[in-house]
Structure 1
């Protein structure tokens, strides 16, 4: 019997140009800034394989404390490629999905901050309303609103 088992997922990392703009965007969604700092030194480059590096990071956390986004701005070495505007079916493409209370309200709020709806808000069976938006820096964000058994959940929350 093996004792090596997955314990948890700590975070997803997204490389950005502006930490301030991206922190503001994810704060609008409802995440909180948990910490911010600079990572540098030979040890960090050994992890990433980039050699000498200097990276400013910001850690964002969801209200329940279970999920985190590590936002990284590379100071050195310079950025070599940009995948932000590739179609959603590109290999290795990254999208982050958030469950929200009211998808229409969230879309309206984020479009006022410059986000753009990619397609449209659609309903999947009697379970979810879903959409993709392009947020700050062209990042692709998925939004989901649970609709199945909504009345039952509201009764239990009273």
Structure 2
């Protein structure tokens, strides 16, 4: 499959990786988001939406960083992106829906997503998918350092699962 070829919806698979096994996905997130900080060694997973035949050496169509411990009520996504050639094809919506379904099965009841920068597009898109402004950062003591490096405005949106 060519890098910019969109796979059939039925061949897309949600996969979860440890950061050390997801170099291509982390590279895509870094490129799309303008830089992500070093990923903490524990607690963060990389979730990808990629073709079932992908071996992980190619960048996925969409990916996010996820912090969630099995059975905890809150999960959060400090980084979420769809690679440029795959945008405006419903793959972000698919990644979000599949991720929410998996989190519900793992016991999560709410999902926080971090928004960076001053571009209203991501916040508007998430609001259209049921997210609202959070009153603060996600609960817990987890390291959420995997964010943009530029210090731009950051805030959290939350949705019940």
Structure 2 length as normaliser, TM-score? 0.28
Structure 1 length as normaliser, TM-score? 0.29
Structure showing greater Rg: 1
Higher strand share: 1
Taking CA–CA contacts closer than 8 Å with sequence separation of 6 or more, which of the two structures ends up with the larger relative contact order? Answer: 2
